[in-house]
């Protein structure tokens, strides 16, 4: 991991390092910029942003953060957000669900029950269940918060 304020390698260095075209490197920099991880400055290059600038609701950013390691403070922050969003998501799902949503939710519950105690299968079943609630809510913004459900089981 690079420290905030540090410069990423130049386009030429990345081309050599990773063996990809300049177009690919530029697209990667655009993606990282859109997610708030870096800022690109003319004649300076791409600089790593402080985590306070990161787009924490982006699924990739959350995945990358988790790969760096979960700490108690981060898990508590996720729990705080989830505890405010999930009751509303469940209420919306109860009101807006379809028969297909109900069938999918029941299937998700069965998958969670079957995966209990399995550290690889249970988190995926758990995530699928929470994403199904988000989908059943009928609200695309609520559905976007589903990515936060991925890590509750770890806390």
Q: How confident is the model at residue 151 (pLDDT cuts 50, 70, 90)?
A: low
pLDDT digits (tens, 9 = 90+) for 113-125: 999 888 888 888 8
Residue the block writes with tokens 């982006």: 58
Q: Is the pLDDT of residue 71 over 90?
A: no
Q: Is the pLDDT of residue 139 over 80?
A: yes
pLDDT digits (tens, 9 = 90+) for 104-115: 999 999 999 999
Residues in Cβ contact with 32 at an 8 Å cutoff, skipping those fewer than 6 apart: 38, 46
Predicted confidence at residue 148, as pLDDT, reads 63
pTM for this model (two decimals): 0.64
What is the phi/psi pair of residue 43, to 5°?
65, 0
């Amino acid at each position: 991991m690079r420290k905030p304020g540090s410069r990423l390698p130049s386009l030429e260095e990345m081309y050599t390092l990773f063996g990809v075209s300049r177009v690919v490197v530029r697209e990667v920099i655009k993606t990282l910029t859109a997610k708030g991880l870096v800022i690109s400055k003319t004649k300076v290059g791409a600089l790593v942003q402080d985590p306070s600038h990161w787009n924490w609701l982006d699924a990739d950013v959350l995945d990358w953060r988790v790969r760096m390691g979960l700490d108690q403070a981060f898990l508590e922050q996720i729990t705080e957000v989830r505890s405010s969003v999930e009751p509303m998501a469940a209420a919306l799902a109860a009101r807006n669900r379809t028969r297909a949503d109900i069938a999918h939710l029941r299937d998700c519950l069965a998958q969670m029950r079957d995966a209990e105690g399995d550290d690889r299968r249970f988190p995926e079943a758990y995530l699928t269940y929470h994403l199904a609630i988000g989908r059943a809510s009928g609200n695309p913004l609520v559905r976007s918060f589903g990515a936060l459900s991925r890590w509750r089981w770890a806390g």
